[in-house]
Structure 1
Amino acid sequence: MHICFITGEFPLPGQHHGGIGSFVANLGESLVKQGFKVTVIGLRKVKETEYHNINGIDVYSIPHGKSKYFKWYENFKSLNSKIAEIHRVNKIDVIETAELGLFFLKKIPSVKYMIRMHGGHNYFAKFENRPVNKWMNIQERRSFSKADYIVAVSDFVGSKTKELINYKKDYHVIYNPINSKKFYNATNEAIEAFSILFAGSIIEKKGIRQLVQSMEYLVDKFPKVKLYVAGRFANIPGTSKSYEPVLKAEITDKIKNHIEFLGVVPNTEMPKLISKMHICCYPSHMEAMPIAWLEVLAMGKIFIGSNTGPGPEAVIDKQTGLLCNPHDPKDIAEKISWVFENTSLAKEFGTKAREYVIENFDNETIVSKNIEFYQSIINKK
């Protein structure tokens, strides 16, 4: 069986990547070990087509079009040409993309086309209170109209996206997988007391500003509290302006010595960093099914996430972690304070979290569900 993923986010050495890239790399490597052929094709900032074989996955990086007005058409031609070339040599059974991915693709009759909903343009525009971009809206709706099958990484993202774009077909929920061996059991490792970790893109939607503001409520009560921020400053959506000055304007003299920016931490080093932390707090305004949350939960660490969107699908509040209002710095501070004052009880959440993640999100379980799904759609005529 040959699965082809269309994404420009696959993690390549020395390059930044996001959650979709981590997902494809993780699932793809597991599929290869099961005897599948896996190919990844994506548009990237390269001068000419590049090829890498990473853990058995064939990865093709295609240069973006150069035309000022018809870049989309050049991208369309390049992607379809590479897909057709690969299909001639080694028949593709399934092509999988995120929400927008099928818009540019010309369908090959023998191939099954599926969208995996990781949270598309309409979804995040809605929940971040941003205007919908007309062109991206057209692309997304057209992409869904071409899909043979739909998978959602959470029931929340599936139901809300279906509602927003008025999509009529059913979707199948398969959660994101987590490598519980790489993100090992760290429940009994020594921690830095009163430490808080935030990891992810540093941008408004990740809740980092409200987390920084929550420090105003914490430093007097917990003089040793320290917030570590791991990640890259992103641009403000729709602009070329960095989010950095926006966030740093929130850092007052009172809290500045209690916050440290670590920069980008490679995913391979994240388990070691997570293991040292007293709390991991990722108060995203909205997610689809955040892999970063699952990584922390898999390590049995005390975790605070958001009560928005699929938060309750990932974290059972007051059982495997705590859920906060990500828009309310005071509520975030109250949840952090509770952990600092009830560390022994909170550690029990961590133990239950690892058990819950292994049962519901572990690689072996989720890969098996994906294989069953791929086989079921390939066998359909």
Structure 2
Amino acid sequence: MHICFISSEYPIWKSGGVGSFLQTFSRAMVQRGHTISIVGIGETHEEMQLVDEGVHIYRLPVAKLPIAKFIANTRRIHIKIKALNAKEKIDIVESAELGLAFQKKIPSIAYCIRLHGGHHFFSESENRPVHWWQGFKEKLSFKNADGFIAVSEYVKNHTAKYLSYHSKPVEIINYPINTEMFSPNLSINVDVNNITFAGTICEKKGIRQLIMAMPLLREQHSELHLHIYGREWFYKDGTSYTEMLKSKYAPIVDTCVTFHGVIPFNDLPKKYAEAMVCVFPSHMETQGLVAPEAMAMKKPVVFSELGPGPETIENYKTGLLCNPHKIDDIVEKVLWFLNNKDKIERIGNNARAFVLQKFNSSPILNKNISFYKKIIKNK
């Protein structure tokens, strides 16, 4: 089977949950004998190509004209897909929510949308209106799809409040976690003062509330330090969200917070291993990879109670859930782990067992292949 993903994210060029999923999923599919192509728009005016453990990645030149850039970029992606299909027949083209809006469909190919979290989905949690143009593109993209994969029950049901699946097949298939890569590492010493966060540095990830929680946490554990790993996020005017945090919360940041920036995906397990507690207080997720990755390493994890949080963690059994909008609740949950270290081993064992059952790569790959065959057959 030849699967072509439309995406500009991949850990080698751009970090993020979608890119991490693509790398884990694509490498595993290649090992099973499938062909994987990933086509996206780059940041230069030249095409770039890369092969990552058998995964073929194409970064196409970005449109030079600012007007109708989305349409121009979409056309370039279609031309590339058409060329790849002529070279080796493509069975599936998959994109995130917006990716099929203006794609000219090739009749022999089945088109799939994986719900990573689109404009409609996040507009509510970010308390902003749906932008007419983004909303129109998303609706058009959904109309063009032959099937949909939801990465959690929550994203499937919540998206359906705003967008129609047009009676096309929809299936819930979790993200696969590389449980060999993310496994307990007893050779690395845990820093008892290390609180770790990983993810994009933006408001919806709850990082501002976590920073504000640090002085309260240090009232009981005075040496605690927050380590932040992830890529920058920028406002529309080009200013950095990270720089805003450093400026607005300077006394806290200067005392007990370090921004490490983006690190290679392969280095992430080491950072989890060093942590005493991993905290991911997202305001909203479709699923999120960081929590189950850290859980697979038997780490104490505080995750958000919102969205798919209850699908990911059972409170006080596999981890802890917090209200990400309430700083006192974040503090309470982190302190529970710090003050109940005798319970961490049991929770860690439960957490890894849960991840092995729910996010195991092999059955998840099987489910994806079966779903792809289903929508191909339905064409």
Q: TM-score range by the shorter chain?
A: over 0.9
Further displaced range: 241-250 or 32-41: 241-250
Match of 1:279 in 2: 277
Which amino acid in structure 1 is aligned with residue 213 of structure 2? S
Q: CA offsets, 1:270-307, max 9 Å, x none?
A: 11111111100010111111111121011110000000
What is the identity, as a one-letter code, of the residue corresponding to 1:100?
A: L
User: d(CA) in 1 for partners of 2:66 and 2:189?
Assistant: 55
Paired residue for 2:213?
214
Deviations 1:95-152 (A, max 9, x none): 1000000012111111111100000011111111122221111100000001110110
- When residues 11 and 223 of structure 1 are mapped into structure 2, their CA distance, relative to the original with a 3 A threshold, is closer
Superposition deviation, residue 22 in structure 1: 1.1
For 1:76, give the aligned amino acid: T
Q: Distance in 1 between matches of 2:297 and 2:31?
A: 24
Structure 2 matches for 1:1-381, cutoff 5 A? 1-12=1-12, 15-169=13-167, 170-186=169-185, 190-236=189-235, 238-251=236-249, 253=251, 256-381=254-379
Q: CA 1:168/1:85 → structure 2, altered by over 3 Å: closer, same or farther?
A: closer
Distance 1:8 1:254, change over 3 A: closer
Q: Percent identity?
A: 38
> Contact between 2:11 and 2:265, CA under 8 Å: does it hold in 1?
no
Aligned-residue Cα RMSD (Å) equals 1.7
> Contact (CA 8 Å) 2:100, 2:144: kept in 1 or not?
yes
Q: More displaced, 35-44 or 217-226? A: 217-226
> 2: CA distance between counterparts of 1:150 and 1:23?
16
Q: Quick one: distance in 2 between partners of 1:243 and 1:51?
A: 31
Shift of 1:365: 2.2
**Alignment partner of 1:124: what SS?**
helix
Looking at structure 2, the residues matched to 183 and 50 of structure 1 have their Cα atoms a distance apart, in angstroms, of 30
CA 1:20 to 1:342, structure 2 compared with 1: closer, same or farther past 3 Å? Answer: same
Query: 2:122, 2:284 within 8 Å by CA — same for their partners in 1?
Result: yes
1:217-255: per-residue Cα shift (whole Å, max 9, x none)? Answer: 11121112111112233113x442111233124436367
Distance in 2 separating the partners of 1:50 and 1:158: 34
Larger CA deviation: 246-255 vs 207-216: 246-255
Q: Say whether the 8 Å CA contact 2:15–2:231 is kept in structure 1.
A: no
| CA deviation string 1:49-69 (max 9, x = no partner) | 222111111111111211232
- Do 1:186 and 1:301's aligned partners in 2 also have CA atoms closer than 8 Å? no
Q: TM-score, normalised by structure 2?
A: 0.95
Letter in 2 for 1:244: T
Question: Contact 1:322/1:335 (CA < 8 Å) preserved in 2?
Answer: yes
Q: Secondary structure at the match of 1:308?
A: coil
Cα separation, 2, equivalents of 1:8 and 1:247: 27
C-alpha deviation, 1:190, in angstroms:
3.1
Corresponding letter in the other structure for 1:217: L
Q: Distance in 2 between matches of 1:26 and 1:108?
A: 27
Structure 2: which 5+ runs fail to align? Answer: none
Secondary structure at the aligned position of 2:220 is classed as: coil
CA, structure 1 residues 17+260, in 2 after alignment: closer, same or farther (shift >3 Å)? closer
- TM-score, with normalisation over the residues of structure 1? 0.95
User: What is the Cα deviation at residue 356 of structure 1?
Assistant: 0.4
Matches of 2:225 and 2:310, distance apart in 1: 27
Secondary structure of the equivalent of 1:5?
strand
Q: Secondary structure at the residue paired with 1:253?
A: helix
Residues of 2 paired with 1:255 and 1:76: CA distance? 41
The alpha-carbon distance between structure 1 residues 252 and 4, as it changes in their structure 2 partners (threshold 3 A), is closer
User: 1:260 Cα deviation (Å)?
Assistant: 2.0
> Shift of the alpha carbon at 1:199?
1.1
Q: CA deviation at 1:185?
A: 1.9
Structure 1 alignment gaps of length 5 or more: none
Q: How far, CA to CA, are the matches of 1:85 and 1:2 in structure 2?
A: 13
Return the letter of the residue paired with 1:2. H
Amino acid at match of 2:170: Y
Farther off after superposition, 188-197 or 116-125: 188-197
Displacement of 1:347:
2.7
